[in-house]
Amino acid sequence: MSDPRTNHSRNGAPATLYDKIWNRHVVSDLGDGSALIYIDRHLVHEVTSPQAFESLRLAGRPVRRPEATLALVDHNVPTTPRDRPIEDPLAAKQISLLRENTAAFGIAFLDIDDPRQGIVHVVGPELGLTLPGLTIVCGDSHTSTHGAFGALAFGIGTSEVEHVLATQTLLLRKSRNMRVRVDGTLPPGVTAKDLALAIIGAIGTAGATGHVIEYAGEAVRALSMEGRMTLANMSIEAGGRAGLIAPDETTFAYLEGRPRAPKGALWERAVADWRTLASDPGAVFDREVVIDAREITPLVTWGTSPEQVVPVTGRVPDPDDFADPAAGRAAAAALDYMGLEPGTPIEGIAIDRVFIGSCTNSRIEDLRAAAAVFRGRKVAAGVRQVLVVPGSGEVKRQAEAEGLDRIFRAAGCEWREPGCSACLGMNPDKVPPGERCASTSNRNFVGRQGPGARTHLVSPAMAAAAAVSGHFTDVRRLATAGGV
């Protein structure tokens, strides 16, 4: 009992959601808090897999269960019309190599022209591959997204991709349990993205290192699946190994009828099982953080780490005001890179570009929130480009069926094909050196959106508000058709 890593449920003690998923996936208990853990679903993309397939080939090893893996392309794909060839030869090679590798090893592959293609963390849930209680991995740190369904989902490196392909398992040391409880309800105009940034601002980017986070409380329960995915997605920005939300009626309603979700009697049996996954009353968490949702406002990052965040109504902080000298030095370096002066009101910061997309904020609800701001408005003069990039083919079709694409185009935005786009400075969608971007993505690191790019992380509604204003604007002051 005193050791948080002991197996609570097996000795009858209350267990957390994380404990329960861990316990039911133990293949071999190796003692010392480590175990060989079975992996139910493996998602593969073009960037972090070539070396894994190469190693399998060199060792003459097969993929143990090809049907447990789905591969697709997202990081490298251009978001311009799909009938054009990929100009970057290196990107084209990675994509064609994944096509060859999946064919050779018998793995399902959604190619660039597949109507279901999109960002791996948007497509997995849409297909119903993501289910409560599963273990899900991908060579991408934002795999934490799938934790929104109560699945233990986390990013792995390429050596681990190889290990999962060859053995369908991973050798893991159990993380500690951390609960983030969010009391109250989020005020109007405040979204799951603001909640994620508020949590990271409160605990820091290493705040959950060594832990799996469980998000709980009234505000989390009230989130849609889209909102829950946004929250779980940024667990890695808080340092968490994974982020979990207990499955409930919202989860089941989203999943029922999805192509790969169980059907009929098996669905009923699965749901009955999933209802037992929630953390038991009295389960022990190694750390607990309580956040009051009512105090959260729309947020904007000002620096080069997601923890460097302030309310849109606030000002750029002064490095001299930080109690921790290291944090003060980091702030000074960040302001130098960002080209910002201490004390500047956030609403006074003009922007050059806007990016609405990424595995954090490219789902239908995100696009609806942005469209509600754009409806009847124009992109401000001086804003060079507003990219709106749906997370998947399904999101794109849904948005077009609702007429959102017409709203974006009428406002002066570019409506693109699905992909990771300008989140990571890898495909043609980049922010040029020295330019400032209001972005719905997840990382504002130095050079993340391209060398010298200056990134401010915001929600989709706040990104749209910045686009139509030419500078950061509190979206709550803009009357919107959707009543944001």
Partner 1 sequence: MEPFTTLVSVPTPLLRDNVDTDLIIPAAWLKTVSRKGLGAGAFESLRKRPDGTPDPGCVFNRPQYRGSQILVAGRNFGCGSSREHAAWALADLGYRCVIAESFADIFASNAFKNGILTIALESADLARIAADAEAVRPVRVDLAAQTVTTADGTVVAFALDAFRKHCLLNGLDEVSLTLEKHAGAIAAYEEAARQRMPWAIGG
Question: Which of 19, 140, 429, 474 touches partner 1 (CB under 8 A)?
Answer: 140
Question: Which of 71, 107, 122, 131 touches partner 1 (CB under 8 A)?
Answer: 131
Q: Phi and psi (nearest 5°) for 394?
A: -65, -40
Residue type, position 468, single letter: V
Separation between Cα atoms, residue 33 and residue 4, nearest integer Å: 9
CB 283 within 8 A of CB 19: yes
Separation between Cα atoms, residue 216 and residue 256, nearest integer Å: 23
Separation between Cα atoms, residue 225 and residue 122, nearest integer Å: 11
Shortest spacing between CB 205 and partner 1, in angstroms: 6
Shortest spacing between CB 270 and partner 1, in angstroms: 5
- The strands making up 152-155's β-sheet, listed across from edge to edge, are 108-110, 69-72, 41-44, 135-138, 152-155
23 near partner 1, rule: CB under 8 A:
no
**In the window 25-84, what residues touch partner 1 (CB under 8 A)?**
27-28, 30, 32, 34, 36, 38, 40-41, 47-48, 50-51, 54-55, 59, 61, 64-65, 67-68, 75-76
**In the window 213-242, what residues touch partner 1 (CB under 8 A)?**
236, 239, 241
Shortest spacing between CB 47 and partner 1, in angstroms: 5
Question: Which of 125, 155, 317, 319 touches partner 1 (CB under 8 A)?
Answer: 155
**In the window 257-296, what residues touch partner 1 (CB under 8 A)?**
260-262, 266, 269-270, 273
CB 231 within 8 A of CB 148: yes
Residue closer to partner 1 by CB (options 82, 260) is: 260
Residue closer to partner 1 by CB (options 50, 184) is: 50
Shortest spacing between CB 65 and partner 1, in angstroms: 8
Shortest spacing between CB 76 and partner 1, in angstroms: 7
Tokens of 167: 């053995």
CB 135 within 8 A of CB 151: yes
Largest CA distance in the chain: 65
Contacts of 111 (CB under 8 A, 6+ apart): 72, 73, 99, 117
Question: Which of 13, 166, 332, 478 touches partner 1 (CB under 8 A)?
Answer: 166
Q: From start to end of 13-161, where are the E strands?
A: 26-31, 34-38, 41-44, 69-72, 108-110, 135-138, 152-155
Residue closer to partner 1 by CB (options 60, 483) is: 60
Shortest spacing between CB 164 and partner 1, in angstroms: 10
Residue closer to partner 1 by CB (options 136, 192) is: 136
Separation between Cα atoms, residue 390 and residue 408, nearest integer Å: 12
305 near partner 1, rule: CB under 8 A:
yes
Separation between Cα atoms, residue 155 and residue 395, nearest integer Å: 24
CB 419 within 8 A of CB 78: yes
Question: Which of 146, 443, 454, 476 touches partner 1 (CB under 8 A)?
Answer: 443
Separation between Cα atoms, residue 118 and residue 166, nearest integer Å: 26
Shortest spacing between CB 249 and partner 1, in angstroms: 18
Residue closer to partner 1 by CB (options 119, 399) is: 119
**In the window 368-407, what residues touch partner 1 (CB under 8 A)?**
none
- Bridge partners for 31 per DSSP: 34
**In the window 92-111, what residues touch partner 1 (CB under 8 A)?**
93-94, 97
Shortest spacing between CB 157 and partner 1, in angstroms: 4
Nearest to 462 by CA among 191, 129, 274: 191
134 near partner 1, rule: CB under 8 A:
yes
Question: Which of 9, 23, 80, 205 touches partner 1 (CB under 8 A)?
Answer: 205
Shortest spacing between CB 273 and partner 1, in angstroms: 7
